[in-house]
Amino acid sequence: MDFGFTADDEAFRGEARAWLGANVSDTADRRAWERTLGKAGWIGIGWGEGGYGNRVATLTQQVVWAEEYARSGAPPRSGHIGEKLLAPTLLAHGTEEQKARFLPPVAVGEELWCQGYSEPGAGSDLAGVRTKAERASDGAYRVSGQKIWTSLAHEADWCFVLARTDPESVRHHGLTFLLVPMDQPGRIEVRPIRQMTGTSDFNEVFFDGAHARVEHVVGGEGAGWKVAMSLLGFERGVSTLAQLIGFAQELGMVVEAAVTSGAVGDPVVRERLVRQWAELRVMRWNALRTLGRAGDAGAPSVAKLLWGGWHQRLGELAMQVRGAAAGVGPVEWSASAPYELDEAQHLFLFSRADTIYGGSDQVQRTIIAERVLGLPREPKGVV
């Protein structure tokens, strides 16, 4: 299959590669890096003509940028939730005033966002959210409840929150999509969650009467489920292709480790390495095949099932090829460095979550069964 990059696309690739090569070396401050990207016009290149401070790029050029970014070794983005999730949602459902207020600061890297969806007891089952938003006498909302697994909440300026505005409602009814400022001492508390990797990329967020303005409701009160489902459709797409570039680099690391340790001489290991390579190619072709399609209910779920399991198996293979050495950290233990991991060990531990976050494998299979294959819906405890 030939994806067919044009001469203009390749010229765009050259520009992107040159800029990244000149700027990636100075990325220690991730918030400053977002501002650097924004100043050069590299944020929001897929938003189209809108006058929000971003340059315009075709779909293939968006793929080019995502691939070059992954290849460059640039750090994980702090602003991707605002750029890739909030912005497309506002473009689809927001008012002109909301677009004018929130998109330019994202485009220049000045405001960072987090996603207030999952809760204890309502993770993959998003319709079970219990966070409440009540109208106060001044017409604004007061948000109370708890969110969990909130990526980058400790850095974010704003959070888009799915909350229940109708106290009598059940399941997906009576939900509203609210834009909530995070700088509310005493009303919002962020608690980092320490992971197996020793890092804290996720957080618990507690809302205790946090304020949200009525003009910051997206899509209208009670329309939160529709907006939330629309947003989830933006989570996959061009970003998947960039993710696969990173996966290829990790696979190369595992192959090199297998050669160094001599594990490549084991025919079972060789078969696993070849299978990982072949499946990675299949995932890329599938991502290209479905890129830009609208209304394909099963495509995002199929993609998540493919890469989640693949990445988890790669982490297991990264440990297998190193043998007993995989259990030894990169530095001697000390009180100042009690939990140091090398790249392969981090891959193994972090990838254990790949089949859970972003919608568990079980949920993805249910979506495919019900929305694509037309099988009977799972019985619910509450209707």
How many residues in total does the chain contain?
Answer: 383
Check if the beta carbon of residue 112 is closer than 8 Å to that of residue 157. yes
List b or e across 108-123, with b for residues whose CB sees 16 or more CB atoms inside 10 angstroms.
bbebbbbbbbbbeebb
List 67, 111, 235, 250, catalytic entry? 235
**Cα 140 to Cα 178: distance, rounded to the nearest angstrom:** 11
Check if the beta carbon of residue 120 is closer than 8 Å to that of residue 202. no
Backbone angles phi, psi at 18, to 5 degrees: -65, -45
Q: How far is CA 161 from the centre of its chain?
A: 16
Beta strands 113-116; 158-164: pairing state = parallel
Nearest to 183 by CA among 219, 148, 159, 214: 159
**Cα 35 to Cα 369: distance, rounded to the nearest angstrom:** 43
Beta bridge partners of 367: none
Backbone angles phi, psi at 371, to 5 degrees: -95, -20
Task: Respond yes or no: is residue 34 known to be catalytic.
Answer: no
Q: What is the DSSP string of 244-287?
A: HHHHHHHHHHHHHHHHHHTGGGSHHHHHHHHHHHHHHHHHHHHH
Tokens of residue 62, six digits: 């968006």
Q: How far is CA 62 from the centre of its chain?
A: 17
Residues 6+ apart with CB under 8 A from 199: none
Backbone angles phi, psi at 175, to 5 degrees: -100, 150
**Cα 167 to Cα 144: distance, rounded to the nearest angstrom:** 12
Tokens of residue 268, six digits: 């079972």
Q: DSSP code of 75? A: P
**Which residues does the annotation mark as catalytic?**
235
